[in-house]
Amino acid sequence: MIRQLRCNRVVAGLFLLLWCVPTAGYAWGVAGHRYANALAVDSLPEALRPFYQANRAWIVHHSVDPDQWRNANRSEAPHHFIDLDYFGLEEALRFPQDYWVAVGLYGRETLEKVGLVPWRIGQFYGKLVRAFRERNARAIVEISTFLGHYVADIHVPFHAVTNYDGQLTGQKGIHARFESVLVERQIRLEDLRPQRATRIADPVAAAFAWARRSMKRSADVLRADLQAVARDRSYGDTYYQTLGQQVRRLAIRCLEESGRDLASLWMSAWIDAGRPPLPPPASVHEGEPLDRPTRDPDLPPPSAD
């Protein structure tokens, strides 16, 4: 099922590769999230950048961790998408941004089918504000990292629509062809440019705006897919060359906006916390294996048994 396996396509061994050497074979699931978190560090103002730069390796490497949490916790899955058009295109434009209003209108069970990523972003934003206020260096790094995953997800066109794999239009597989294979073949870190972070007053409202933009972009990718298939029904080199001519720049824009918007949330959380002095710029995970697994901070700690 695509919903459960969205970002688990990449061979586990790739997870151990060093970020500083971009290599062929990355799919969006790993590369896209790492690109977004790295770009976010580079997009920060000078007041924040040294602390984040000191923790860059961890922030980049663990950007994909929320996908790993889904394997042990099924309730994590709705946090990665929102099908804005579930109730129709007109409703998508006025989808309620208040979680409890949405629950009252649609019911909790239906809302979990539609997806919860804007509110997940708001939830982790609140955690980050608290971490800044407490000057908790480890919490700042970890929450910033995990927040980045959800921000990158909402910038993927097929994380915002019910036709998330082209299954409704006879284009099944477009999700992976766009966010995995196209990126693997045609985008490298050096193709991307950091953008300046800006103040975000309402993270949930911003997340809904990003989702609406992604929803519209999904139509562009679907049209490009039809053109590419018309030239190469085997999904070979000609298919991807044609697809890339149409939407490679769009994929780059999605990644660059992910990094910018994530940096903007980090900066805004610090501002909302009162601009506290940051902890000294040092790695908070110094001496730990870089690939040590993490867990959802909302889950209770594992039993000692």
Please give the pLDDT value at position 32: 87
Please give the pLDDT value at position 304: 53
Cβ burial of 4 (10 Å; 0-12, 13-18, 19+) is exposed
End-to-end CA distance of the chain: 33
User: Mapped to the 3 state alphabet, what secondary structure does 243-273 carry?
Assistant: HHHHHHHHHHHHHHHHHHHHHHHHHHHHHHC
Please give the pLDDT value at position 192: 96
Please give the pLDDT value at position 7: 39
Please give the pLDDT value at position 19: 37
Higher local confidence (pLDDT), 171 or 25 = 171
For 87-139, what is each residue's pLDDT tens digit? 999 999 999 999 999 999 999 999 999 999 999 999 999 999 999 999 999 99
Supply 206's token pair. 């911003």
For 130-165, what is each residue's pLDDT tens digit? 999 999 999 999 999 999 999 999 999 999 999 999
Lowest model confidence (mean pLDDT) among 106-120, 170-184, 263-277: 170-184
Give residue 303's pLDDT band: very low, low, confident or very high (50, 70, 90): low
Q: Nearest Cα to 227, choosing from 216, 219, 239, 236?
A: 239
Domains within the chain, CATH numbers bracketed: 31-272 (1.10.575.10)
For 237-247, what is each residue's pLDDT tens digit? 999 999 999 99
Please give the pLDDT value at position 297: 87
Give buried/exposed letters for 118-153 (b at 16+ CB in 10 A, else e): bbbbbbbbebbbebbeeeebebbbbbbbbbbbbbbb
What is the value of pTM for the model shown?
0.88
Residue pair 186/252 in contact (Cβ under 8 Å)? The answer is: no
Please give the pLDDT value at position 73: 87
Q: How far apart are CA 121 and CA 128, in angstroms?
A: 10
Q: How far apart are CA 130 and CA 5, in angstroms?
A: 32
Please give the pLDDT value at position 24: 29
Lowest model confidence (mean pLDDT) among 47-56, 64-73, 77-86, 223-232: 64-73
Q: Say whether 236 sits in a helix, a strand or coil.
A: coil
For 9-42, what is each residue's pLDDT tens digit? 333 333 333 333 332 233 357 888 999 999 999 9
Give residue 70's pLDDT band: very low, low, confident or very high (50, 70, 90): confident
Residue pair 194/135 in contact (Cβ under 8 Å)? The answer is: no
Please give the pLDDT value at position 15: 34
